[in-house]
A = this chain, B = another copy of it.
């Protein structure tokens, strides 16, 4: 039986690495993103199918799962949005959007994914967190709100869904993810930013854990990162 993976919040970076890693592991891959225009190359490379979906819109999320050919074995929720800066200058509409994309969309995707998974009694539901998931930094209140909320969701779901056979996990990506064009990479020294392929490798290893020894929370950071 071929496994199926759904990567929500697909684009470049980690999500592209996840798609490649899952495809290389023999899984069928589906990608969801607000716009699928940028996904053509990745579709071709991985054989993935793409779906347009605003993850913070309940109707969009319903349509996405209705369009899938099968209940996924692995769903990864990646989307985030952030607005930064001194609190007094923040636009409330942007703060609301940060909460909606970063956390509420996670709830919508979780609910849709778990319908099928719970009925089947298996599946992995993974959430991508950040340093801000466990530490609220100055001048970054909205992102802390969104990422803390996503972690609270993941914890609650792990407790509720583990005994139903669903593996819920939360990854704390504690550092910058390397991008092909990233000018910072040099300044941080060799391997000073997280390789998205390396992150994806750990997601796959956690998906493959035996259910007698599941991880809920896994942190990942470069060897020389301050934390």
What residues make up the interface of A, taking CB atoms closer than 8 Å to B? 58, 86-88, 90, 92, 95-96, 99, 103-104, 107-108, 110-111, 114-115, 118, 132, 135-142, 144-163, 165, 167, 178, 191-195, 197-199, 201-202, 205, 209-227
Contact = CB atoms under 8 A, between A and B. Distances in A.
A111 B136 contact: no
A202 to B, nearest CB: 6
A149 B106 CA distance: 14
Q: How many identical subunits does the complex contain?
A: 4
Nearest to A211: B223
A179 B55 CA distance: 40
A141 B191 contact: no
Contacts of A104: 95-96, 99, 145
A43 to B, nearest CB: 26
Given A95-B104, A136-B156, A156-B138, A218 B215 contact: yes
Contact of A205 (B147, B159, B178, B202): B202
Contacts of A141: 107, 110, 152-153, 156-157, 160
Contact of A136 (B136, B142, B154): B154
A88 B118 contact: yes
Contacts of A88: 111, 114-115, 118
A103 B223 contact: no
A152 B155 contact: no
22 contacts: A92-B107, A92-B111, A99-B99, A107-B141, A107-B145, A136-B155, A136-B157, A138-B160, A141-B157, A144-B155, A148-B152, A162-B223, A162-B225, A178-B212, A192-B212, A195-B213, A198-B209, A199-B213, A201-B210, A202-B213, A214-B220, A217-B219
